[in-house]
Structure 1
Amino acid sequence: MQFKVLLFLILFIPFFNSCGSSSSSSTSQTFTLEEKKFVHELFLTEYLWYDDVPSTINYAQYNEPQEMINTLRVTPPDLWSFTLTEEEYENFANQQTIGFGFGYTSDLQIFLVRIDSPAYGKLQRGDQIVEVNQQSATSTLIKEASQNVDQATQFKVIRNGTVVETTVTPQEYSFKVSLGKIITQENKKIGYLRYDSFTESSVNEFEAIFTNFHNENINELVIDLRYNGGGSLSTASVLLDNITNAYPGNIQIYLDWNDKNQNRNSIYAFEERDFQDGNELTMQRVIFLVTKDSASASEALINALKPYLGENNIITIGENTHGKPVGMSGRAYGINYYFLINFFVKNSADQTSSFEGIAPTCSAEDDITHLMGDENETMFATALYYIQNNRCP
């Protein structure tokens, strides 16, 4: 299996009542004794597995917040509790970062280009990087170049057997996480949504896409979550509202805290009929494209639909998802935000997804030789086959 490198400053970061994959961060601020005690107290009170945390520890042994979290978190199952700075969170929530905006495998093949990043439209998924600034490409060279903000970098890549040269300048940039299109296959209109992260600022993006889906009266919906590591559950709730308007007021997602904090249990519900804005769909079936990088809010979205549409109408194509049926609520101390696992994320039938992930209905490889949304890309092609034949290829 190839190792993937992501040239994004912050990736998959959760916040209040959210669930996303981990992203560690360290700061230059002094990690004071008072802050260490604060973090320890969070573990002893709000942490989901608080009863497995030692009540007495040697605070002097910890020099960095993440170091302390890594020692105290209960692993397994907790692979995710982490910290980051206020600035890092704000940048992610507002879909802002720095660099080129692409991810690549261990053999330097690009698998993802962030929408509207500096690399978008210049490099593309499937490109094999062979030279960086006229030197033989290495991961080190790419990383170093990505940090040289506003300095143009020359790339030579192999694209579909042809040498392509292009220049990309790493910079601070705002990105998008949503792309949508409609294809017609045998008189069926199929809506395709690429959705890369549950950021709070992405709602307007996918609302516009669903308005088009609604106006075009699509018959089937495919949502591509293959690299979506999670984010805001509030955003997941809005996305659920757009997928179906048939269950106004019903529970979508239930947050179940530890036994010390049952008063903090809460729900997300489908919007009431009076608040629906008219662009919602009423899908009877949804097909999701998923990989091991599809985590947390992605899994919560899939799990939330099962009690309403039925297991047989929630189709997952790809491989087992990440396996994070839990979430966290951020707490602040100084400039640092702390995200410790606080609650199980359940659906209206009181079911969580599994720590082993959600198994695929149809197995399919992430075919990085084709663009996401390309009808010949293996995962999407498998979805189209399922739509027409009601079975896996």
Structure 2
Amino acid sequence: MKKITLLFIAILFIYSCERKESSLIDPTTDDDINYFIWHGLNLYYLWQEDVPGLADNRFANFDELYTYFRIYRSPENVFESLLNRPEDRFSVIVDDYIALENSFQGINLSNGMEFGLVQYKNGSTNVYGYVRYVVPNSDAVAKDVKRGMLFNQIDGNQLTTTNYGNLLFGNSTNYTIGLADFNDGNPITNGTSISLTKSEIQENPIAISKVIADGDQKIGYLMYNQFARNYDSQLNAAFAYFKAENIDNLIVDLRYNPGGSVSSATYLGSMITGQFNGLLYSQEVWNDKVRRSNPADRFINNFTNQIRNTDANGNVVLQESINSLGLNKVYFIVTNGSASASELVINSLSSHIDVALIGKTTRGKQVGSITLYDSENFQRTGANLNTAHRYAMQPLVLEISNKDNKNYPQGLIPASTDFPGVELGENYGDLGVLGERSDPLLDRTLIYISTGAKSFSSKSSFYNFDEIYDSKLATPASDYMFVDVKK
């Protein structure tokens, strides 16, 4: 995989102990953080040229910069003031980069109940949650939480559009869900409650890999819930299984996959195909500063036949041949929960093979980020890493497209001109079992593969509403798509 080399550019300022010597102000930790935010965005932010506050000549010296940013109440406010909103919907800053790094590996503080939140059908501000799945070895498993359960209360309080954030994603590690019955999209409490406790757990994103016999066809089914680099080998093993089974078709279920590593996304595309080794898979556009400081081939990602992952110091931690299927068509299950790297795989493959989508329009995140730390080279291993805080930035630094220079900022639409398939949402009243035909989305995909039919059975006819939030969006990794960097 090509990797972007972080720049060592001194624009106005030199990052070292000399900062104090060139300033009349003795900088506080907050001053250091504010300078880190401005400097990192000035160098790497995708829209740097469009934000007046990030102009190279914005500040004449350190004192001017420190004084200016002291008018803001927090580093988060400083960061927000320098973003190109509303076009930039996804850049974030975190106050604990260790939690962010863990989240990229599937490690989060969680009770193991992954869920979506839906507004009531009656148009009120009431909200209910539906359990998508439960993470193995979690408290939710121990408490017998199941996919398809509905809940509308937390600690006895009705969920609404204004309180769900505090009730579900606040500082408390414990809460009690009040279960509910579907009631035609306006759930009513049924008197059952379950108390859940959050702890640090790690989720294997390869949730299901199996072969489904459908008539005379063998169809591979992969449910993949995050593009996590530390699980690339397990993903490759799943494709070794599909290859050994000599499958006829493949379904990749990305309905709950918010994204992750661009390198893992490239590996997945190479596993599905194999006949395009070395050809262009995706291409990136960075700001002018980065483009001028890197060779052109740093901005392209090619199909590959090798997984080669390195750590922050450049040491190889995984190298193995990719198990490729050589397919000319693939089927994806998607929803609004499918974002960034999920969309990248679909879009990139669509330039080379036939791609069908079953589900709902994806989120529309064709931009990617890098993690910037407060050190000389903005890396965790960089010199003079500021140990007085744990702030890190995940700013958008690139836009990514397929080999035909196409991407879809409004999302990928099933059953559209570009992506044939079936438009169908989750049946919140009857979700079925993931990986089984009782799951309406999987059932419709299998029917579409065998018959090409787009019509719905009575089982699939139901009220469908867009979700307003989900548990994965509340994790530090959220819906980021990120590229690897090297020293």
**Moved segments of 4+, more than 4 Å:** 130-133, 135-146, 153-169, 272-276
Deviation at residue 348 of structure 1 after TM alignment? 2.2
- What is the DSSP-based 3-state SS (H/G/I as helix, E as strand, rest coil) of the residue aligned with 2:412? coil
Deviation at 1:277, TM superposition (A): 3.1
1:116–1:298 Cα change, 3 Å: farther
Deviations 1:237-280 (A, max 9, x none): 22122111111111222222122221444222222489973632
What is the CA-CA distance between 1:307 and the residue it aligns to?
1.6
Q: Structure 1 residue 356 and structure 2 residue 413: aligned?
A: no
1:336 is aligned to 391
Q: Is 2:131 aligned against 1:110? A: yes
The change in CA–CA distance for 1:316 and 1:61 in structure 2 (over 3 A counts) is: farther
Contact 1:129 1:137 in 2 (8 A): no
Q: CA deviation at 1:77?
A: 1.6
Tell me whether 1:381 sits opposite 2:443 in the alignment: yes
Q: Are 1:304 and 2:326 matched, yes or no?
A: no
The one-letter code matched in structure 2 to 1:270 is F
Task: Tell me which amino acid in the other structure corresponds to 1:65.
Answer: P
Contact 1:116 1:175 in 2 (8 A): no
Normalized against structure 2, the TM-score is what?
0.66
CA deviations on 1:321-342 (whole Å, 9 max, x unpaired) are 1111111122111322211111
Cα distance, 1:251–1:204 mapped onto 2, change above 3 Å:
same
TM superposition score normalised by structure 1: 0.80
How far the C-alpha of 1:214 sits from its partner, in A, is 1.0
Aligned with 1:91 (options 86, 102, 107): 102
Is 1:61–2:71 an aligned residue pair?
Answer: yes
Measure the CA separation in 2 of the matches of 1:115 and 1:70: 37
Contact 2:210-2:221 at 8 Å conserved across structures: yes
Q: How far apart, CA to CA, are the structure 2 residues paired with 1:247 and 1:219?
A: 19
How far apart, in 1, do the equivalents of 2:74 and 2:133 lie?
A: 32
Distance between the aligned counterparts of 1:201 and 1:193, measured in 2? 18
Give the Å deviation of 1:298.
0.7
Structure 1 residue 168: Cα displacement: 5.0
> Partners in 1 of 2:154 and 2:395 — Cα distance?
39
1:129 has 2:151 as partner = yes
Where structure 1 has 5 or more consecutive residues not aligned to the other structure, the ranges are: 1-15, 18-29
Deviation sequence 1:280-337 (CA, Å, 0-9, x none) = 211111111111221111111111101211xxx2111112111111111221113222
Residue type of the partner of 2:87?
P
Q: Does 1:47 align with 2:45?
A: yes
Q: Structure 2: 5+ residue runs without aligned partners?
A: 5-27, 59-64, 118-126, 184-189, 308-318, 375-385, 416-421, 456-487
Is 1:253 matched up with 2:282? yes
The count of residues paired between Structure 1 and Structure 2 equals 357
Aligned-pair distance for 1:208? 2.2
Deviations 1:358-377 (A, max 9, x none): 11122101224223333132
Amino acid at match of 2:198: P
1:104-135 deviations in Å (ceiling 9; x for gaps) = 423133233234433237212211237878x6
Change (3 A) 1:88 1:169: closer
1:197 aligns with 2:226: yes
Return the alpha-carbon distance in structure 1 between the equivalents of residues 42 and 170 of structure 2: 41
Cα offsets for 1:156-212 (capped at 9, x unmatched): 746899998767553222221112121111111111111111112221332222121
Two-structure CA RMSD over aligned residues (Å): 3.0
**Matched residue, 2:484:** none
| Alignment partner, residue 370 of structure 1 | 432
Q: Distance in 1 between matches of 2:145 and 2:171?
A: 15
- CA deviation digits over 1:34-66, x for unaligned, max 9? 321232233333211112212348312323333
Counterpart of 1:295 (choices 317, 332, 339) is 339
Distance in 2 (alpha carbons) for counterparts of 1:90 and 1:255:
23
Distance in 2, matches of 1:141 and 1:38, equals 33
Secondary structure at the counterpart of residue 139 of structure 2: coil
Counterparts in 2 of 1:187 and 1:339: CA distance versus 1, 3 Å: same
Alignment partner, residue 454 of structure 2: 392
Whichever of the two has the greater Rg, that structure is: 2
SS of 1:44's equivalent in the other structure is helix
Change beyond 3 A, Cα 1:320–1:60? same
Question: Which residue of structure 2 aligns with residue 22 of structure 1?
Answer: none
Q: Deviations 1:7-43 (Å, cap 9, x if unpaired)? A: xxxxxxxxx87xxxxxxxxxxxx76223212322333
Identical amino acids, percent of aligned pairs: 26
Instruction: Provide the rounded CA distance (Å) in 1 between the counterparts of 2:196 and 2:235.
Output: 28
TM-aligned CA deviation for residue 391 of structure 1: 4.3
- Higher mean alpha-carbon deviation, 45-54 vs 261-270, is at 261-270
Task: Tell me the residue number matched to 1:5.
Answer: none
Structure-1 separation of matches of 2:361 and 2:182: 29
* 1:216 has 2:276 as partner: no
Matched, 1:283 2:332: no
How far apart in 1 are the matches of 2:47 and 2:177? 48
